[in-house]
Structure 1
Amino acid sequence: MMNAAALASRAVIAASPAIARRGLGVNHTQGVTLGIIAVYVVVIALLWNIPYIRWVLWPFKMLVIAFHEFGHAITACCTGGRVESISLDPHEGGVTHMRGGISAVTLPAGYLGSSFIGALLIFCGFDIVASKIASIVLGVCFLLILWWARKDWLTIVTILAAVGLLVGCWFIDHAEPLRFVVLFIGVMSSLYSVWDICDDLILRKVNSSDASVFAKRYGGSSQCWGVIWSIISFLFMVCGILAGLAAFKQSFAQQEDDSKHTIPTM
């Protein structure tokens, strides 16, 4: 028994470097995905600050604002509160009207919730099948937003267009483009969270914000909480990328073959 245990222990030790290399190594498919993420970061950063052209990102901004408000809403429900309505303003703002809940949880949940959703989408964007599952969850979230949101045409058209884009990608090359759409929305959601916190709380010092309300109730300054939430948001994004690298090692061809047998499409 001792010899068997010793041999098993040696086998685990011998295999550890191989496991480590598998987890940390980046294959060709993953390298392409990382390159696309880098391109998305640059493109979003440029479009965000170029006058007039930045309106190209407007529909996606509306979507991540919806994620922000959904973070408030879901944590309110989970902590005993009740959501009365969600408003998505045409000027890229949003507000969640709710009663009750634990404010220490619901206040940061907008920023951190959208960042966490972004990290999950980035993780799923490394694989076609995972992107299919993510797109279904996204569709449910969009329908919930439509249920709660103020019934203005802009909100309805934006969310329905996003749902249409996701559905359309299902029927192109066995949903291969879907992973890149999911990846873009994930990067957009993660970056929006960090940028919005820095822009509104650190640079512009907006008085009315989740962080300012949090600071009044629990101490500290809105800028301090903004920095903390920004760091957490960035870490979420990094964790999403690392998890994707560790979990999805299949090549493009292998992913497409898996997609043919998992929720198959034309």
Structure 2
Amino acid sequence: MFHVLMGVLCGGRLQAFVIDPNLGGYTGISGLKRTLPRLPDPHTILTAEQLYWSPSGVATLVAGPIGSAVVGFLYIFAGFDIVASKIASFTIALGLLVAGWYGLHWITYVSVVCSEAVLVGMWFGSHGSALRFLGVNHLFYSLWDYLEETVFGKTNPSDCHELQRHLGVPAETWLALIFLFEALVFMAAIMAGIVVFKKTPEQMYADAAGFLPT
């Protein structure tokens, strides 16, 4: 979603939006022109296209990890309160439906249905306290994106390797930088949750029992 939004804001056109269990995720944006010269790489012979890089293309790529981190921050922050987690679960349910709409394989559809069923099940039990643990996977999505390509052999490239292709900096370096950023966001979300939500467990459960009780 954040790749698409940034790409369109930068003047690009959406060409592909793929969610496939065999190929992996992919967002294709065209029209982002390469305008700035790249630093020469002594170990690589660059093609004519690779002699220049696109600031708008890099912004579109970086928007994915940053967007995931921001949304993951909000989910982890909401996890310190059951009512906030209940509200956040509606956005997750909507996101799953979007994934199902763009899915290209029956495994995607089954995964979406099962995930929605699990999400509904989390509402039952301690007034939905299980919903408080939904943010970590979203925050560290970029790590999973990299592992899908390098470990699980998915065809579509990860953001780290796309950044390497654009700028010449190794994908492992991008992975380390993005993971460090996400770890800092994770710690910030925990600190924010501790500072803002100061209810006792009894108060939290009482509030949850009064908001869409299950």
What TM-score comes out, normalization by structure 2 length?
A: 0.71
Structure 1 gaps, min length 5? 1-69, 202-207
Structure 2 equivalent of residue 65 of structure 1: none
Give the match for residue 75 of structure 2.
Answer: 121
In the alignment, the residues of structure 2 paired with residue 195 and residue 243 of structure 1 have an alpha-carbon distance, to the nearest angstrom, of 25
Q: In the TM superposition, what whole-angstrom CA distance separates every residue of 1:169-210 from its partner, at most 9, and x where no partner exists?
A: 22433222222xxx2x32233345346558968xxxxxx543
1:96 corresponding residue in structure 2? 27
Q: 2:213 is paired with a residue of what secondary structure? A: coil
Which structure's residues are more often helix, by fraction? 1
Shift of the alpha carbon at 1:223? 3.2
State the match for 2:136 in structure 1: 187
Find the counterpart in structure 1 of residue 41 from structure 2.
Answer: none
TM-score (norm 1): 0.59
Amino acid at match of 2:206: D
Q: After superposition, give the CA deviation of every residue in 1:52-105 in whole Å (9 maximum; x if it has no partner).
A: xxxxxxxxxxxxxxxxxx332343344444444432232472112334463122
CA contact (8 A) 1:197 1:230 kept: no
1:249 counterpart SS class: coil
1:71-150 alignment, distance < 5 Å: 71-91=2-22, 93-100=24-31, 102-147=56-101, 149-150=102-103
Q: Which of the two has higher C-alpha Rg?
A: 1
In 2 relative to 1, CA 177–217 (structure 1 residues): closer, same or farther, beyond 3 Å? closer
Which residue in the other structure is 2:39 paired with? Answer: none
Contact 2:145–2:159 (Cα < 8 Å) also in 1: no
Q: In structure 2, give the amino acid aligned to 1:176.
A: S
The structural deviation recorded for 1:225 is 2.6
Q: Does 1:261 align with 2:210?
A: yes
Deviations 1:19-42 (A, max 9, x none): xxxxxxxxxxxxxxxxxxxxxxxx
CA distance in 2, matches of 1:106, 1:95: 13
Displacement after TM superposition at 1:128 (Å): 0.4
Change (3 A) 1:253 1:80: farther
CA separation of 1:217 and 1:194: change in aligned 2, threshold 3 A: closer
Larger deviation: 127-136 or 222-231? 222-231
Q: Which residue of 1 aligns with 2:107?
A: 154
Return the offset for 1:246.
1.1
Which residue identity lines up with residue 150 of structure 1 in the other structure? Answer: G
Q: Is the 8 A contact 1:81 1:98 kept in 2?
A: yes
Tell me the distance in 2 between the aligned counterparts of 1:77 and 1:160. Answer: 30
RMSD of equivalent CA atoms: 3.1
Where do 5+ consecutive residues of structure 2 fail to align?
33-55, 151-156
Residue identity opposite 2:103 in structure 1: R
